[in-house]
Chains A and B, each alone.
Chain A
Amino acid sequence: MKQTFRILLVEDNENDIELTLEAFTQHGLSENIDICRDGAEALDYLFYKGNFANRTIENPILILLDNKMPKVTGIEVLKIIKQDNVLKNIPVIMLTSSDIDKDIIESYNLGVNAYVVKPVDFEEFIEAVKTLGLFWITLNKVPR
């Protein structure tokens, strides 16, 4: 597997970041993860603004979005990504603990590629991350 591609993880909770990273580590992907700690930072990252004005690394091939975040929520970030001509082709996965119907419906309406409720059981969570990686990074094809 190429080591150059990036996966963007947008997550405000440190514990979740640590656990998610652990899951990716178990699948040997920890080096490919970029982390943004809220929606605003994610937008800076994606649109080369603020701290990321001079980002040299290429756009991520997968974006994992938490929803409930300070400043800008995951759904708001999703909306902006899907309205952008360049970014809209990047698969976006809502990775969140919320399974409110309203959020799920809204996410799909905005063009989310997958909606995953984080399993409480850690082993199941690791399994889920593995499945996600396998599908979206290895199997799924996106327009170049």
Chain B
Amino acid sequence: MTKHIVSIKTKLRRLMLLLVAIELVISLSLHLITDIGKVQNRLQSQSILYAELLSEYCIAPMTFNDSAAVYDIIKKVEVIPKLLAVAVYTNTEELITLYSKDSLIVIPRKGIENTNNSGIFSKYFTKTQTIVYNNIQLGIICLYVSKQEIKESIINDIRWSFFVSIIIAIVGIILIEIFQRKISNPIIDLLETIKTISSTKNFNIRTQSNTNDEIGVLAEKFNEFIEQIQKKQAAEIIAKQEIENLNKELEERVKQRTLQLEQSNKDLESFAYSVSHDLRAPIRHIDGFTKMLESKLPEKNEQIQHYIDKIHESSKNMQNLISDLLSYSRIGRQELQMDMIHIQSVIEEIIETYQQDTQDRSIEWIIHNIPKIYGDIRLIRLAFENLISNAIKYTSKKEHAIIEIGCNITPETIEIFIQDNGVGFDQTFADKLFGVFQRLHSDKDFQGTGIGLANVKRIIQRHGGSVRAEGKENEGATFYVTFPKKKK
């Protein structure tokens, strides 16, 4: 939105013109009031004088009722321009004779016109005077006096006032021009400076205004202000640079740490691997030689057979442990091959593989519809094998086992749960469930290495998901695995 801008110059000019107009009105009024009064007084006194003189001259002819002589006397006023007409009346106000220069003036035959205080716009006023001799009134003389003088005086006043006003206006405009330059030029300079800074963001520019008034102070303060901004900006640039440097340093450190971590992770993996392999050979040897020993036994001895069975059992356990450890290590290293997985059919296939082993048990499977998830099918299968075999294992002491598999869907995640009514666990130890070699049940009650759920956790975490478990002792357990939905 752009504002309509009226420059200071224009505003000053307008103000100036207003002042001149006011001056004109005031001076004209004053002049008129004083001048009209003055002229009127002068006219009045002159007309009184004329009237008295004429009445004096008329005494003799009036005494003899010589109206022609009277006319001769009053005719003499023709040389006095301001006297327009003169009329002489009897005492009973009947016209005797008259002299008039202006035919437009209507002079009554009977009765004297008395317009001594006529309005300023009338052409004339009248002045009456009695003609008296030895205290005897002989008649009345009436003078028609022109007001032309007043009008001329008014016109003169108006002319003069306008003339003076125009001179004042011209002088005023010239002065304003000069003052305006002094006042608005620094402002314009300041404005230009602000505009330039605003558009170029160059805070090195300063306004040159240095007048000794408020604008000068404004300009000075503005320069100080810009200087402060400049300093602040410079400080900000330095701070930004510092932050950038720190960030770079931090990034470098993170990179190094990551490398170190990756290296130590790799070391750990290869350690676990080689330990696992080197451990396998002795177990195999123990198992092999025990078998050979068993076959060489001369006779059946129950005690010896018991010990040999124990050795086999132990080596079998050890082998399972190592296999699980290896699988755990492999899960951590294996590259993910992501694809959409029809998880429901994977689950159904896994359950199918356990049918043989569980045919003498009563297991009720409740499988709900589960949408496809995005993941590595090899690892996901392994995870669900673990979860499902756990559910089968930990319900083995139940007469009628119920295993329910379903899902909860949120806008961002798919959560799959596996619920059983088996032996359950104490919720207090829930966080231990997913640890490596962590078990909540003895090997005697339920066989296991304590790797299965650690594998599940590792697999799900590698898919960007999470695991949790809820359980109650002797009432069952529910395992939840949550997958993020694939981002489109």
Contacts and interface: CB of A to CB of B under 8 A. Distances in A.
Contacts, number: 46
B311 to A, nearest CB: 11
Contact of A122 (B277, B280, B291, B330): B291
B104 interface: no
B273 A100 contact: yes
B316 A16 contact: no
B281 interface: yes
Given A98-B277, A100-B273, A19 B289 contact: yes
B376 interface: no
A122 B281 contact: no
Nearest to A99: B326
A24 interface: no
B277 A125 contact: no
Interface class of chain A by DSSP? loop
Nearest to A118: B284
A118 to B, nearest CB: 6
B285 A97 contact: no
A113 interface: no
B291 A13 contact: no
Contact of B285 (A15, A68, A119): A15
> Does more than half of chain B's interface fall in helix, strand or loop, or is it mixed?
helix
Interface residues of A, number: 18
B431 to A, nearest CB: 32
B283 interface: yes
A22 interface: yes
B90 interface: no
Interface string A79-116: 00000000000000000011111000000000000000
A97 to B, nearest CB: 5
B284 A19 contact: yes
B225 to A, nearest CB: 70
B396 interface: no
Given A13-B281, A97-B280, A121 B287 contact: yes
A98 B322 CA distance: 12
A121 B319 CA distance: 9
A119 to B, nearest CB: 8
Contacts of A16: 281, 284-285
Contacts of A123: 291
A120 B330 CA distance: 20
Interface in B315-339: 315-316, 319, 326, 330
Contact of A120 (B273, B289, B292, B315): B315
A98 B326 CA distance: 11
A120 B277 contact: no
A22 B315 CA distance: 20
A117 B277 CA distance: 11
A120 B291 contact: no
A19 B281 CA distance: 11
Contacts of B285: 15-16, 19
Contacts of B290: 122
A15 B291 contact: no
B322 to A, nearest CB: 8
B268 to A, nearest CB: 15
B37 interface: no
* Best-buried of B285, B292, B326 by chain A (most CB within 10 Å): B285
A16 B288 CA distance: 9
Contacts of A97: 277, 280-281, 284
Contacts of A19: 284-285, 288-289, 292
Contacts of A122: 284, 287-288, 290-292
A22 B288 contact: yes
Interface in A2-47: 13, 15-16, 19, 22
24 contacts: A13-B281, A15-B281, A15-B285, A15-B288, A15-B289, A16-B281, A19-B285, A19-B292, A22-B288, A97-B277, A97-B280, A100-B277, A101-B330, A118-B284, A119-B284, A120-B280, A120-B283, A120-B284, A120-B316, A120-B319, A122-B287, A122-B288, A122-B290, A125-B288
Interface of B: 273, 277, 280-281, 283-285, 287-292, 315-316, 319, 326, 330
Given A122-B287, A122-B292, 7 more contacts: A19-B285, A97-B284, A100-B273, A120-B280, A121-B287, A122-B288, A125-B284
10 interchain residue pairs of minimum CB distance: A122-B288, A122-B291, A15-B285, A19-B288, A120-B319, A97-B280, A120-B284, A122-B287, A98-B277, A97-B281
Interface of A: 13, 15-16, 19, 22, 68, 97-101, 118-123, 125
